[in-house]
Structure 1
Amino acid sequence: MSDHYPTIVIGGTTSGVGKTSVATGLMAALTTAGYIVQGHKVGPDYIDPSWHELATGRPRRNLDVMMAGEDQIAPLVKQAMVGADISVIEGVMGLFDGAGPQDDYASTAHIARLLNAPIILVVDAANVSRSVAATVYGFTHFMGSPGAPLARIAGVIANRIGSSKHADLITQAVESIGVPMLGCLPRVPELATPSRHLGLIPVAERTAQAHDTVSGLGAWVAANTDIHRVIEWANRAQLPEGPMWFPGTSRLNGHEPVTIAVAEGEAFSFQYTENVLALEAAGARLVPFDPTVDRHLPDQTEVIWIGGGFPEMHALKLAENRALIADIQRFADRGGAIVAECAGLLYLSEVLDGHKMSGLLPIEAAMSSSLTLGYRRAKAETDSVLFQAGDQIIGHEFHRTQLTRLPQGPHAWTLTDPYSGVVTQEGVVSHGGNIHAAYLHTQWIDPSPAQRLVQCALDKRAQT
């Protein structure tokens, strides 16, 4: 791989301006034009990247300064781009919205600065014309962090254009302040993607419609955007020198790979790709299964991994599949390792919204009117198949369910909110450390958890 990494960042003035539609459409348009495209999402979001994956045919990737650290952002992009021609990075919220009010740390602008990558600013042009220029002028002259250079805005894409006359007015206004207009996208209501309590509905829950939507978004962007100028700007990215991210080394030492059964399907649609790569590098063979339909675990399962998703939307299907639940219970009774994050925690509970789940953990959960959202500094309370007591990591919570019956312990984590300082205990370590279940999502930039999990499975294999 050369040291040239064409990269473009899609930022927005606010949430809701159409960043996901524009970024996904650009990825689809470039793919249709013959480019191999790698998509990324700024922050911990696991829903938008499912659309990127559909548009590009490549694994979803997240760039999160809070969880990965500043020094790993460029290495992650470089590793993800192996075999790709161009990276398209979808931002989060408004361009400068990050971890706090005093600077733009962990924002889209911060990510672009760490990558020396140009930004396309998406603006909502509905109900405005020349006033858009004032907004763009502010974004091009605002200092995101004290002493930082101004955001490198390559141009503007205006969304929700009402007519050709409207497009002309917007274009003239923006270009009068010296900023290129790269696209004017008309309103196309039929391309809107439905949302739910945690954002867009994931691709896995509406695959047929999602394919049509992505195809439509690609045609929409291609017809109304200067794709060649976008590529020219992407080629001006200058990622800092240094190695790409390294997902770790094998623990097999001549042994056969460890079989990890990975919950997928409409109820469990998310794992960070970095975690997958770290497990594979450590010596795992990942085999998917769908807890809503499959009646048994994959053959030779040595570890079960149940990641994020929406079990609350599919609780009846999950509850009715008692054959698989019995299989999982037998696996746990034999001392098998189970890792469960967020949705997985709910599936291992006794009851979820009145539906009987697997019952492996002495907890109950239900939908709540309040959203739990934010980064956490996490310290492992006890040894498990993933972490040693005292290990520390930064993770992210994002859920609208709450535990209505809590375990006495041992807990998986002691969590500290980095902003309020509030300390809580969260998650469950059960079955002698063989089950690690928590709401907290973690991204294994340090591959130690993956290596520990594979090593624990190998140790268990040697004992049987």
Structure 2
Amino acid sequence: MAERIPTFLIAAPASGSGKTTLTLALLAALRRRGLRVAPFKVGPDFIDPGHHAAVCGRPSRNLDGWMCEEVVVRDIFRRGCRDADVAVIEGVMGLFDGARGADDGGSSAEIARWLGSRILLVIDARAQARSAAALAQGFTRFDPRLTFAGILCNRVGSARHAELLREAFASVPELPPLLGCLPRDGALSLPERHLGLVTADEAHRDETFYQGLADWLESHVNLSPLLPSAPEVPAVPEVLCVPAPQTPPRARIAVARDQAFCFYYPENLEQLEAAGAELVFFSPLRDAHLPREIDGLYLGGGYPELHARQLAANTGLLADIRRAALRGLPIYAECGGLMLLAENIDGQAMAGVFPAPARMLRTRKALGYREVTLIRDGLLGPAGTRLRGHEFHYSEMAMPPEVPRLYHVSRRDGEALPDEGYQAHNVLGSYIHLHFGSHPRVAEHFVQYCRKGV
């Protein structure tokens, strides 16, 4: 029997409309009411979910219709809703923006359809009044399969501006209700940098900040009418995405996790545990050595370039990683983790597993979804295995041609990109963040590879 809890997806006509701030405010307001809130993020982003988790005290999970099939997305959502009273999903880009122009594949709208979520449409009302109502009419009627709980106008300039917006929305029949007009408040913004928002660990926003967000929302929006609605959380068998954990553990895998290495999809870690891994977390910034008696190493992404000096000073840990690689320890490294294995980051010495430096650029090097096909048998599976993920970075590594490549790579539209997935000893390093939910056995292959020590 499936649970029934209220479920809302925060969407907007375009990026930059204030979805993240509104989402955090809603999460904080619901928690203040004593509700257990399950947070989610549409798309491949790591940073917004970190802020969600800081407010809710539980992991925020990614729901991505391009990287994962519908049945996997529904399973991720169902598991994320365990023991929750309400689910809040932050959308990505504009509501209908996704992988293609002809349909809603990979978009927030697709996720709302799959899950039966009601949509809260956030409109940036700067420099418009009646036009905002026209915009809302187009968005709410564009796809009749979607259900809208209401509309929020954000960045409203004055009481008179709010009055004009209310008049405009009242004049358009059959629009979803205008739930509130939220004034601009620069004190409620979050700091940004080259990959987006500053991570939750480094933004240093305390409970007072989150309560301020809740106050801002509740001062202008009546949330009570939203909560009685309870669309059904899809019932999906447990085995579809993450099977029951193996006991006893079959491999002990060390996972780098701190301010410099914090980009992990929760499902990647959970699938490794379910496949028989005992995960041992350590900090490349603070721990002088790798954990003892490990069978493998997982170096996720993050911001090593911001901590390069501190990482370079941790010579004992870097030496451990290099020795482990040379003796054949299976190591999987993504983006920031790959940079840790470089000769250096902008002159700061790193582990030197790969014969190339990492160099930060002033402009973005790569952004987009990627499909990977394994060229040869390896740590993640046999040749021919297909996986999906996402790439976003401002650094580059000029890897010599003699370093083997394990990946054929293509964009989401099928256009081929240069081969990637660099291999040295039993080390696999890549700029692509793979979602293990895109292939049902990749975590099992990783654990088996570590267990065999090949």
State if a TM-score over 0.5 links the two structures: yes
What count of residue pairs does the alignment treat as equivalent? 449
- Within-5 A mapping of 1:70-81: 70-81=70-81
For residues 383-435 of structure 1, give each alpha carbon's deviation from its aligned partner in whole angstroms, at most 9, with x where no partner exists.
Answer: 2222222211122111111123434232131101232622320121221xx21
Answering whether residue 235 of structure 2 is matched by residue 220 of structure 1, we say no
Q: How much does 1:212 deviate? A: 4.4
Contact 1:412 1:428 in 2 (8 A): yes
Q: Distance in 2 between matches of 1:158 and 1:187?
A: 10
SS in structure 2 at match of 1:314: helix
Contact 1:362 1:407 in 2 (8 A): no
Which consecutive residues of structure 2, in runs of 5 or more, have no partner in the other structure?
A: none
For residues 200-248 of structure 1, give each alpha carbon's deviation from its aligned partner in whole angstroms, at most 9, with x where no partner exists.
Answer: 1111223x33554333223322332222122234x1x244554355312
For residues 33-89 of structure 1, give each alpha carbon's deviation from its aligned partner in whole angstroms, at most 9, with x where no partner exists.
Answer: 111111111110111111111111111200011110223222221111111111100
Change in Cα spacing, 1:316 to 1:168, as seen in structure 2 (3 Å) is: same
- Within-5 A mapping of 1:20-59: 20-59=20-59
Letter in 2 for 1:421: E
Q: Distance in 1 between matches of 2:352 and 2:217?
A: 48
Tell me the residue number matched to 2:267.
274
Q: Distance in 1 between matches of 2:38 and 2:221?
A: 19
Q: Distance in 2 between matches of 1:115 and 1:20?
A: 20
Tell me the residue number matched to 1:146.
none
Contact 2:99 2:412 in 1 (8 A): no
- Within-5 A mapping of 1:62-77: 62-77=62-77
Contact 1:251 1:454 in 2 (8 A): no
Tell me the residue number matched to 1:370.
364
Tell me the residue number matched to 2:436.
444
Q: Distance in 2 between matches of 1:70 and 1:180?
A: 30
Tell me the residue number matched to 1:179.
176
Which consecutive residues of structure 1, in runs of 5 or more, have no partner in the other structure?
A: 144-148
Q: Give the TM-score taking structure 2 as reference length.
A: 0.93
Contact 2:346 2:358 in 1 (8 A): yes
Contact 1:381 1:410 in 2 (8 A): no
Contact 1:316 1:355 in 2 (8 A): yes
Q: Distance in 2 between matches of 1:457 and 1:242?
A: 30
Contact 1:251 1:455 in 2 (8 A): no
- Within-5 A mapping of 1:128-207: 128-143=128-143, 149-177=144-172, 178-206=175-203
For residues 422-461 of structure 1, give each alpha carbon's deviation from its aligned partner in whole angstroms, at most 9, with x where no partner exists.
Answer: 2320121221xx211111111111342221222223323x
**Corresponding residue to 2:404 among 398, 405, 410:** 410
Contact 1:294 1:324 in 2 (8 A): yes
Answering whether residue 311 of structure 2 is matched by residue 318 of structure 1, we say yes
Answering whether residue 251 of structure 2 is matched by residue 258 of structure 1, we say yes
SS in structure 2 at match of 1:398: strand
**Corresponding residue to 1:291 among 260, 276, 284:** 284
SS in structure 2 at match of 1:363: coil
Q: Distance in 2 between matches of 1:240 and 1:264?
A: 32
Q: Superposition RMSD on alpha carbons, in Å?
A: 2.0
Contact 1:384 1:435 in 2 (8 A): no
Change in Cα spacing, 1:363 to 1:447, as seen in structure 2 (3 Å) is: farther
State, as a whole percentage, how many aligned pairs show the same letter. 41
The runs of 4+ residues in structure 1 deviating greater than 4 Å are 249-252
Q: Distance in 2 between matches of 1:268 and 1:450?
A: 20
Letter in 2 for 1:88: V
Contact 1:51 1:214 in 2 (8 A): no
Change in Cα spacing, 1:71 to 1:2, as seen in structure 2 (3 Å) is: closer
Contact 1:41 1:89 in 2 (8 A): yes
Change in Cα spacing, 1:419 to 1:162, as seen in structure 2 (3 Å) is: same
Q: How much does 1:251 deviate? A: 4.8
